[in-house]
Amino acid sequence: MTQDEPTDEEVVQTASDAAEGLIFSRYKQSNVRDCDVTVNFEDGILEVDVYLNVPDDVAGPDPEQVADDAALTAQQAVDELFEE
């Protein structure tokens, strides 16, 4: 690892922030019952798992799609972090 590479902690925080940012750009925070973003970065491998619980009566996009999009956004944010 070179000095210019982000730390594991920076990678995890970047991914988590990106995923949560996407979720709360699509739903009001008060409309989300539960949200859990789990990020693991070990040996250069990034794993992102997003759980999202939104009541059925809340208008908006499909929660499963938002969770998938959030995970992808987290991965893209980490890719960009390594490109800097």
Which residues are CB-neighbours of 53 under 8 A, at least 6 positions away?
32, 33, 34, 35, 63
What the block records as the tokens of 6 is: 């982000």
Task: For residue range 4-32, list pLDDT tens digits in order.
Answer: 889 999 999 999 999 999 999 999 999 99
Please determine, for residue 3, whether its predicted confidence score (pLDDT) is greater than 80. no
The whole-model pTM stands at: 0.91
- Residue 28, domain CATH: 3.30.300.100
With respect to residue 2, please indicate whether it lies within any of the assigned structural domains: no
- Rounded to an integer, what distance in angstroms lies between the CA atom of residue 52 and that of residue 69? 11
1 within some domain: no
Residue span of the structural domain in which 51 resides: 8-83
